[in-house]
Amino acid sequence: MVREILIWPDPILKQKAKPVTKVDDAVRTLVKDMFETMYAADGVGLAAPQIGILQRIIVLDTTPRQPESKPIAMINPELIAMEGETTYTEGCLSIPGEAEDVDRAAVVTVKFLDPEGQEQTLKCDGLLAIAVQHETDHLNGTVFVDHVSTLKRELIRKRMKRLKSEREERPSA
């Protein structure tokens, strides 16, 4: 089921998500919904808080840019190593139409539980490394515009407020 994606600024997007204590069918259904929501919105990553659920779950699919990668769901992801530096022009499904350069680590190693509850460790580079950092930020109440200048952030905030009021006026659109 495709869920509604919250638009920044939203109080839920500022909260820290809670660790998943049991990987059960409810979590697997949520993961499935998150993939469907991400694909419907044409994104490469989505974090549970973006659909209003404060649990530490992210989904990623960077295969269009990295054919050797595969769609992946991470439960309770933890960055255990970060190497190098890179800058990437990021966007976010919660901040539609906006893109800004963000400095990130170039290579990250992430530890997580898969949807079967098995512990996995994955070393990521390229777009996947960026996406893992962007999505784990969401679990800590941080969005990419928190990494840009105050001036840019406030301009984006104004545009998002306008976008939200337009959507409220035309709820069927």
Query: Which residue's CB is nearer to Ni ion, number 23 or number 61?
Result: 61
User: What would the 3-class secondary structure string for 5-48 be?
Assistant: CCCCCCHHHHCCCECCCCCCHHHHHHHHHHHHHHHHCCCCEEEH
**Cα→Cα distances 142→58, 94, 106, 168, Å:** 14, 12, 19, 25
Catalytic residue among 36, 98, 135, 168: 135
Q: How far is the CB of 34 from Ni ion (least distance, A)?
A: 12
Q: Print the binding letters for residues 63-102 with Ni ion: x by CB under 5 A, - otherwise.
A: -----------------------------x----------
Shortest Å, Cβ 118 to Ni ion: 26
Catalytic residue flag (residue 135): yes
| 57 near Ni ion, rule: CB under 5 A | no
**Residue 47: what are its φ and ψ, rounded to 5°?**
-115, 145
Give how many residues touch Ni ion by CB under 5 A: 1
Going through the chain in order, the beta strands assigned E by DSSP cover: 45-47, 57-60, 72-83, 86-90, 100-104, 107-113, 119-124
d(CA 131, CA 138): 11
Q: Nearest to Ni ion by Cβ — which residue?
A: 92
Instruction: Report in angstroms how near the CB of residue 92 gets to Ni ion at its nearest.
Output: 3
Q: Which is nearer to Ni ion, 23 or 57 (CB)?
A: 57
Q: Which residues bind Ni ion (CB under 5 A)?
A: 92
- Residues carrying an active site annotation: 135
